[in-house]
Structure 1
Amino acid sequence: MSQPQEPHRPFFPFGNPFRMLSPKGSQLSPRLLSLLNTFEEAFAARLQKLNPKDKDDVLSLTWMKLAMESLCETHTAIKTLITELELPVTEWDAKWIDVYLDITVKLLDICIAFSSEISRLSQGHLFLQCALHKLECNTSEKLMRACSSLDSWRQHIGSKNPRLGNCKSILESLVDSLTLPKVKNSAKGKVLMRAMYGVKVQTVFVCSVFASAFSVDSENLLDLDVPNTISWAQAYSDLQTTVNGEIRDVFSRGKFTFLKELDEVDAAVNKLYPMIQDGMRPTEMEAFRSSFSDLGGRAEKLSQVLDVLAKEVDGFFKIVLSGRDALLRNLRVSDTVADPFPGNSGEQVRG
């Protein structure tokens, strides 16, 4: 487990989010305070909704789909907040811009790694389909080929994806290695920096869970300490304790695979495999049909949830990319930038 040695720095370079209500700083107007409270209340609700009622659902593709969906909602919400704040056009320091662009590159890189792994897992479905097709014909030759396809599926799923190798260093750099340029203090800036802190926390949390689940390595989990002065701190602490704790517990059991839907397919394979390895006896036909049907259903469920998860990861990629593109467009038009995240710009990305 990666334990931070010093307080985590904000994900985006807006300064310290915990000093925003300091008497020495700008006071928040009722309108700004209302905007902040609305954002944080909705954010806390998303964290609470993400906390699984059943711990067995933690390491599941279904839960991961909900987690990525929630993260996209949070990134969309921060865009809406920026619009509502009506931030004035301000000059961005070159170092500020470099930090932002560096962060977005890292997020795009980790999205590409996740998409690569989802695609790899989806490719394994071909081996299952091949095995099921051969099992429809009860001949010794077909049974041997079915066994070979199931062996190939296990080897494919159990292999390592080299694209996941950089996830840990990317996550740690997002949390610990940011250079924070100073920016002019303002009431609106304080609201934004506090909201951005929440975006940062959820982004690192979700990405660390994905990296851990896909790489089968609990070392990719990151535990973030959120000050209890933040209104959503308890909701986040409960979520992190439940999810990270269960992941580490599951990893300690030493299983073939750690994702629930993959585990279910593997269990069905293990049940069917002995029946076909040495040929089926007439008395085993009913059990074979049941196991055959079970494997087919679980394989199809796995394929479908992987497709849905792939779309969610792609949606997050587009949200990050669109914000980056908006900043670069503004830089080309003017020496000043008003808002790097205009609108719900996930639709602005051209295929």
Structure 2
Amino acid sequence: MGRPQDPHHPRSFFPFGNPFRVIAPKGSHMSPQLRALLQAFEARLTDRLSKLMLKSKEETLSLSWMTKAMESLLDSYNDIRTLISDLELPVSDWDDKWIEVYLDISRKVLDICNAFSSEFSRLNTCNLSLKYALHNLDGTSSKLFVRACSSLDDWKQHIHSMNPRIEKCSTILDNLMRSLDLPKVKNSAKGKILMQAMYGVKVQTAFVCSVFTAAFSGSPKKLIDLDVADMYSWAPAFSRLQSLINDEIRTNFSNGKFSVLIELEVVDAIVKELNPSIQGGADATVQTESLLKTVEELGKAEEKLSKGLDLLAKGVDQFFKVVLTSRSDLLSAPSSAKAVKNCGFGGNANLKVVS
């Protein structure tokens, strides 16, 4: 479990100030060409963040939005790979500290992805109880009603249980934040651009991972409020997105919801409505039109939940493989400008399937 948080004093991204002030463009003597590369990167990051703004409150926090957020994060990691290629920064010019920072942070990201994957497995296992209940509700025997009721009870029991691996994500996120203090960059305008771009992607990573952790844990205490300096062009878009998403999540939890995942809340509401009608194995031969409609609604809701989880799980798995491959490429790449194209912050060239 993460440490208790006062809702009026949320976790700060940089409790000791912003360590990235040392890589600000001011005084770095960037050429117009290099500055243009950084500006283009940050403009794309701004656009990705803006596209995650909710179109309606009903979208918070849907599995489809979470899938978009994961796709956006994957795009940002691949954009770092493109930037490295455009900078023509050979591996031989990489400071050992830069590599150590990336390997350390990416390892933490992989740990979080593994925790998310374990939650998908848990939720899919819970859904088996729903599927079995729906199968029994198609019958006409009162014994089938008893089985359906038992399956729904199993679902409620397991869906409200805690995943210990998700609970540990808060600790990983805390460690991730402490490791984001990138090393100073001296006498390298290209290095400063790379570090500033990485900062933007790391902020996006911490935000998305904290939202996922809060959603899966059922606790707003898992959220992180990131304080980003206005000097970054993407900061306003990020601040608006973070404020909207975090406020919505906290509001939903304060209203007594056990989950902020819309698809999961819908299923839970239907199960609560259905249970009294089938409690005790009621005579299935006198099924009312209302009962049949409720069962049909549960079937549609379960299908939507299953499909949403499947798409999100695939997105997280793809992200995991890209980060893992980038680590492998970075460690094995020879000291040449050609090799760096495949060892970026999420490059997907020559993607290897990892068991």
Same fold (TM over 0.5): yes
Shifted more, 171-180 versus 187-196: the winner is 171-180
For the residues of structure 1 that align with 2:286 and 2:135, how far apart are their CA atoms?
A: 22
Amino acid at match of 1:289: L
Shifted more, 100-109 versus 202-211: the winner is 100-109
2:99 counterpart residue number: 97
Distance 1:280 1:62, change over 3 A: farther
1:270 counterpart residue number: 272
Amino acid at match of 1:306: L
Secondary structure of 1:348 counterpart:
coil
2:311 counterpart residue number: 308
Contact preservation (8 Å) 1:78, 1:196? yes
Shift in Å at residue 8 of structure 1? 4.4
Contact preservation (8 Å) 2:67, 2:312? yes
Listed one character per residue, the Cα deviations across residues 16-58 of structure 1 (whole Å, up to 9, x for unaligned) are 33x22x23x2x22222122112111111111111011212322
1:1-351 to structure 2, matched below 5 A, reads 1=5, 2-4=10-12, 5-9=15-19, 16-17=22-23, 19-20=24-25, 22-23=26-27, 25=28, 27-178=29-180, 180-278=182-280, 279-280=282-283, 285-330=288-333, 333=334, 340-341=343-344, 344-345=347-348, 347-351=350-354
Contact preservation (8 Å) 1:83, 1:342? no
Contact preservation (8 Å) 1:82, 1:192? yes
Secondary structure of 1:16 counterpart:
helix
Contact preservation (8 Å) 1:83, 1:343? no
Shift in Å at residue 312 of structure 1? 0.4
Structure 2 unaligned segments of length 5 or more: list them.
Answer: none
Listed one character per residue, the Cα deviations across residues 168-205 of structure 1 (whole Å, up to 9, x for unaligned) are 11111111245644443322122212211110110000
Q: Provide the aligned length of Structure 1 versus Structure 2.
A: 341
Contact preservation (8 Å) 2:141, 2:284? no
Shift in Å at residue 94 of structure 1? 4.5
Distance 1:35 1:273, change over 3 A: same
Shift in Å at residue 349 of structure 1? 1.9
For the residues of structure 2 that align with 1:127 and 1:46, how far apart are their CA atoms?
A: 38
Shift in Å at residue 120 of structure 1? 0.9
Contact preservation (8 Å) 2:61, 2:260? yes
Structure 1 unaligned segments of length 5 or more: list them.
Answer: none
Contact preservation (8 Å) 1:9, 1:175? no
Shift in Å at residue 140 of structure 1? 1.4
Distance 1:300 1:139, change over 3 A: same
Secondary structure of 2:92 counterpart:
coil
Contact preservation (8 Å) 1:132, 1:146? yes
Scaled by the length of structure 2, what TM-score is found? 0.89
Amino acid at match of 2:319: F
Distance 1:187 1:132, change over 3 A: same
Scaled by the length of structure 1, what TM-score is found? 0.90
Contact preservation (8 Å) 1:135, 1:146? yes
For the residues of structure 2 that align with 1:81 and 1:255, how far apart are their CA atoms?
A: 42
For the residues of structure 2 that align with 1:16 and 1:59, how far apart are their CA atoms?
A: 36
Secondary structure of 2:153 counterpart:
helix
